């Protein structure tokens, strides 16, 4: 989903990425795996059930989850290729949350539960983007009214889920190289410079 087609008004920092993004995640499978800080470890046993519930919820609302998202969550061996300097972990909401003529689905937490990432789906699920918020929103844990949610609570991160995963991978690998003195990601130097924080 292009930013102009989304309900979010913040200016997204969309950068070029070093990978061929075709929904297969072949680029990710070719990267090293990690025994520590992998994003799928924390809730590994819960993810299949969470995903099944989220798929059912989207369908009940006349929408659908992106196939690239479903494929990624259902392939736990790929999760070992993604590590996070802030110990982010996959943790899916089990029901989509109606929002701005579409739906939100939370899928990623940071370790301190200070930041959360969400899929935003348009009404029929034919398009999506990834947004973040410092607030926790869950259709099953509502201590607010849906109409209280504002677009300004969210920041666009990427125009698709696979683009988000590519960006997440390179930015975190750059940070691991900087702070843990691991090898930098094996990509063209222009991408290292572009994505350095």
- 37, 60, 132, 137 from 110: Cα distances, Å: 11, 29, 11, 14
Lowest-confidence segment of 66-80, 102-116, 180-194 by average pLDDT: 180-194
Report the mean per-residue pLDDT for the chain. 91
Average pLDDT over residues 51-66: 97
Give the pLDDT confidence of 164-179 residue by residue, as tens digits: 999 999 999 999 988 8
pTM of this structure: 0.94
Q: Burial level of 108, CB count in 10 A (0-12/13-18/19+)?
A: buried
What is the 8-class DSSP label of residue 146? G
pLDDT for 185: 82
Coil, strand or helix: which one is 3? Answer: helix
pLDDT above 90 coverage of the chain, percent: 69
Q: Burial level of 127, CB count in 10 A (0-12/13-18/19+)?
A: middle
pLDDT at 91 over 90: yes
Average pLDDT over residues 87-108: 96
Is the Cα dihedral 126, 131, 137, 138 positive or negative? Answer: positive
């Amino acid at each position: 989903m292009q930013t102009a087609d989304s309900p979010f008004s913040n200016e997204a920092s969309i950068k070029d990425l070093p990978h061929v993004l075709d929904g297969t995640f072949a680029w990710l499978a070719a990267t090293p795996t990690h025994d520590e800080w992998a994003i799928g470890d924390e809730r590994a046993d819960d993810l299949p059930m969470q995903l099944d519930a989220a798929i059912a919820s989207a369908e009940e609302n006349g929408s659908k989850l992106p196939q690239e998202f479903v494929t990624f969550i259902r392939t736990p061996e790929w999760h070992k290729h993604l590590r996070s300097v802030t110990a982010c972990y996959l943790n899916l909401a089990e029901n989509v949350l109606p929002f701005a003529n579409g739906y939100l689905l939370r899928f990623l937490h940071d370790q301190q539960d200070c930041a959360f990432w969400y899929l935003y789906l348009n009404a029929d699920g034919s398009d999506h983007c990834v947004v973040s918020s410092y607030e926790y929103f869950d259709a099953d844990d509502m201590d607010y009214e849906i109409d209280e949610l504002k677009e300004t609570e969210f920041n666009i991160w990427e125009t698709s889920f696979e683009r988000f995963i590519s960006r997440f991978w390179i930015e975190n690998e750059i940070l691991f190289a900087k702070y843990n003195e691991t090898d930098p990601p094996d990509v063209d130097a222009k991408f290292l410079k572009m994505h350095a924080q």
